[in-house]
Homo-oligomer: A and B are copies of this chain.
Amino acid sequence: MAMKKKPVTGMKDILPREMEIRDYAIGLIKETYKTFGFTSVETPAVEHIENLSSNQGGENEKLIFKILKRGDKLLSAVGKMAETVPESADAEKVPDTSILTDSGLRYDLTLPLSRYYSNNANDLPSPFKALQMGNVWRADRPQRGRFRQFMQCDIDILGEQDIVAEIELILATTTLLGRLDFKNFTIRINDRRILKAMAAYSGFAEESYDDVFITLDKMDKIGLEGVKEELLGAGYPAESVEKYIELFSAVTGGAGDGETNDTLAALKLISEKLGDFLDSGISDNLETIISSVEGAKAADFRMKFDPTLVRGMSYYTGPIFEISMDEYGGSVGGGGRYDEMIGKFTGQATPAVGFSIGFERIVMLLLENDFKVPGAGEKKAYLVEKGMPSEKMQKIMKLAADERKEGRIVNISIMKKNKKFQKEKMQQEGYTEFVEFFTDRDF
């Protein structure tokens, strides 16, 4: 059978130039998060199909790479499935292929972490501060810059209900971004309970909240007027829509794009407007998170209360946050509190907050900005004439060993006929010094 040279559809081979940046970023991530007391964990790439299909993953559950059963189990499943294949050409009936699979590739790191914690809680500290980096897979439609295998990088604090967890996550993430030379970015913050209180205050029915939020989420694209039109078009009571839009308008000073100059004043205003619809502790907590992060931040960014921030996943229960960067249109990371997911495994609610950075987007931005990995070190090339006698080869290897011990990069290769071309190519790879060894000369 002919061998295929390209990677499978939608996945990519990573070349040395990008890997250098990835390796550097991975090292910096581990080093930075460690100073905040996070410890690394790893979960298998393969997860039970039951867990992957448990409605925790939203749209991602449609994108699972499923793994075929093996051996007798596969044959038995095939037999059973055959019975479900339509006998007539009835287009409505499709065979039940779900019985062919018992597992799949994880589509995120949050679900496996919840399983991990419920499986190992007795061996873990409480609260538990976890750093998880690893690939995830989604059978998305292939498109530029989006791949079917990509790295995620999550920090989570499990078992801590106090907002110290939110503060720590935001400080850790922003400190890392600062060390990667990112500047002038924004952390937008909101609370799912504020979102709900705003909808309740306006008189929307509780079962329509999620749909209302999907429209609200488009604010940065269609503006306040666009949101209003879409809500009216969807048939919500005009009175509710009016009240809802007025709230946002008041907070944003009518700017219509969620912009506000004084973030704490905006938070205070919304809290006053919502009155009994919102427990005042919730806005006080957001205020403390914002102030504490602003007071201790180690990077050039600002915190912004943004009542239009929704975050897609329905599992969030409290504060939610997102990183916005001017250089990159969308979000380059985000997270929030999800106090109810782990309970789905353990039967016992465990408070949890997480913050995920968009590792691939960050690497892409670093590549585009021609980021130079600091301290890459001196790169030296030894060019050795072919047929070097054994004793002389020993000497060359010993010289190299001594240099490498000092941390220098020494690349030993056989001298080519076109030595000039060989050196030019190596210079492109960053080799600045060349040492030549000939069979008939002493060294």
Contact = CB atoms under 8 A, between A and B. Distances in A.
Nearest to A172: B404
Interface stretch (A50-58, A268-276, A308-316, A330-338): A50-58
Interface residues of A, number: 120
A85 interface: yes
Contact of A95 (B1, B78, B386): B78
A235 B401 CA distance: 50
A115 B8 contact: no
Given A3-B344, A8-B103, A164-B412, A95 B120 contact: no
A232 interface: no
B40 A16 contact: yes
B67 A66 contact: yes
Contact of A67 (B16, B68, B346): B68
Interface stretch (A188-196, A248-256, A389-397): A389-397
Interface string A70-85: 1000110011011001
Interface stretch (A122-130, A204-212, A218-226, A354-362): A122-130
A420 to B, nearest CB: 15
Nearest to A67: B65
A296 interface: yes
A278 B54 CA distance: 63
Copies of this chain, tallied across the complex = 2
A44 interface: yes
Contacts of A353: none
Interface in A11-56: 11-16, 19-20, 22-23, 27, 30, 34-37, 39-48, 50-51, 53-54
A301 interface: no
Contacts of A34: 409
A43 B7 contact: yes
7 contacts: A14-B42, A15-B123, A37-B410, A37-B411, A75-B97, A292-B394, A292-B397
Q: Which 7 A-B pairs have the closest CB atoms?
A: A37-B411, A295-B394, A296-B397, A11-B44, A19-B40, A16-B39, A14-B42
